[in-house]
Amino acid sequence: MKSGINTEVAFTYMVGRRKQTIVAALGVTFGISMFIFLNSLITGTNEYTEKTMLSATPHIRLYNDNRISDHVMLDRYMGNKTINLISNPQLVPDDNKIINPDVVLQQLQKRKEIISMSKQVSTNIIYSNSNVEENGNIFGVNILEQDKMFDITSSMITGDVRSLINKPNGIIIGVGLAERLNLKKGDNITVTSTTASRTLEVTGIFKTTIKTVDNTKTYCNIPVVQQLLQKDRSYITDIYINIKNYYNAPATAESIQQETGYTVETWQSSNEQSLAGKKIRDVIANSVVITILIVAGFGIYNILNMVIYEKIKEIAILKAVGFQGRHVISIFVLQALFIGIIGSILGMIVGWGISYSVSKMYIGLGNVTYLPIAFEPRHYIQGAVFGVITSFLAGYIPAIRASKVDPVQIIRG
């Protein structure tokens, strides 16, 4: 009952200023709904771009890079008696192959965080049908492994990924390439590398969300590419690795690199541009939201200052009849909290409403049919928490002022 009277006074003051209270609460509502909407949109967009990235990039790619020459061999040859320096180190051109890929795979198999792996060999290629030619990259893969990793099946518009298993000379091509070279399932396509040329049969056509992939990428069996490159049957250029939590890719990559000695690249480092875009989006959204919340905070600050200015005699009376500083603070902080809580609840509802309607808005630009919007409880909870904290702070400052009112000065008049 002791604090009940603070609540009652706070509530009465707010009801007495219904209009300003509603306006102040709507300020919070606006801030919180924007917070929720922007965060939902940005998270949705980030998830969408991430999904797009991961549909073409493995979490981790392991390959053999050209190495810069170092003094290790020299030390071995000359011994430790001399200090060996290479004055103008050069990149050592290499075969770029992974030596003994099956051993590497077995080694990696022991890691619990890895959920799938796929070895492959790829090269630049010229596709041609009669006289028309197109550049691109051909990927020699174990199609079942790749399908598990990138869900190629879901992007197939003609044929089946399994067709490669039965047809050693089969090739799965993108829809863009199919149009440019006027190819249908069952047609023949000629692929020419720097060293060899072969004719393959189109067994399937896929359509991804990325245009360049549809125009240039093709899948075939590993031996086809090995033959095009005139390499032996153990020639493997890359191992693709997917792990349980792809945000842990950098740490896992680091440890794989140390274990195997091969160069390891994460999806994050191969998509730095897009991830920079994510950062920028976050910064923009946060500045907008902070601005709105500050404005909403000023709304609350303002109304409380007004109430305190108007009620200064009553504050003096309350102090005269025995209200202490902290009681006065709680009267005004409670008002701010009421405003903040009402505003935040409305803000969550409105924020959901805006997010929902925008997610139903047809965009139809490129692969984006509808704006990607995430509906995550954490945005709503965060929004409400921010709203209430902002309100509290905006109320606390004037409340302190009210608590310092000297009743003698006011009552003396």
Partner 1 sequence: MSIALKAENINKFFLVPDKFQALSDVSFEINKGEFVSITGKSGSGKSTLLYVLSTMDTDYTGTLMLNDQKITGNKQNSLAAFRNQHLGFVFQFHYLLPDFSCLKNVMIPAMRLGKLKQDEIEYNAHEKLKMLGVGEQALKPASKISGGQQQRVAIARALINEPAILMGDEPTGNLDSKNTAVVFEIFQQLAREHNKTIITVTHDNDFAEKSDRIIEMRDGKIIGLA
323 versus 386: smaller Cβ distance to partner 1: 323
* Cβ burial 391-401 (10 Å sphere, 16+ → b, else e): bbebbbebbeb
* CA distances in angstroms from 209 to 44, 87, 228, listed in the order given: 16, 48, 29
Specify the amino acid at residue 403: S
Specify the amino acid at residue 313: K
3-state secondary structure 12-26: HHHHHCHHHHHHHHH
144 versus 317: smaller Cβ distance to partner 1: 317
5 versus 368: smaller Cβ distance to partner 1: 5
The total number of residues shown for the chain amounts to 413
Q: How many CA atoms lie within 13 A of 288 on its CB side?
A: 16
Q: Which residues are near partner 1 by CB under 8 A?
A: 1-2, 4-5, 8-9, 12-13, 16, 313-314, 316-327, 407-408, 411-413
CA distance 28 to 341: 9
CA distance 326 to 329: 5
Residue for token pair 């009112």: 405
CA distance 110 to 114: 8
Q: Which of 262, 285, 234, 58 is nearest to 149 (CA)?
A: 58
Closest approach, Cβ 330 to partner 1, in A, equals 12
Specify the amino acid at residue 272: E
Closest approach, Cβ 331 to partner 1, in A, equals 11
8 versus 102: smaller Cβ distance to partner 1: 8
16 versus 168: smaller Cβ distance to partner 1: 16
Render 369-384 in DSSP notation, one character per residue: EE------HHHHHHHH
CA distance 225 to 73: 33
**CB contact set of 218 (below 8 Å; sequence gap of 6+):** 125, 127, 136, 137, 138, 139, 171, 172, 173, 174, 177, 191
290 versus 400: smaller Cβ distance to partner 1: 400
223 versus 325: smaller Cβ distance to partner 1: 325
Closest approach, Cβ 17 to partner 1, in A, equals 10
Closest approach, Cβ 304 to partner 1, in A, equals 16
219 versus 338: smaller Cβ distance to partner 1: 338
Instruction: Give CA 116 to chain center in angstroms.
Output: 21
137 versus 409: smaller Cβ distance to partner 1: 409
Residue for token pair 């240039």: 216
Instruction: State residue 116 phi and psi, 5-degree precision.
Output: -155, 155
Closest approach, Cβ 343 to partner 1, in A, equals 22
Closest approach, Cβ 1 to partner 1, in A, equals 5
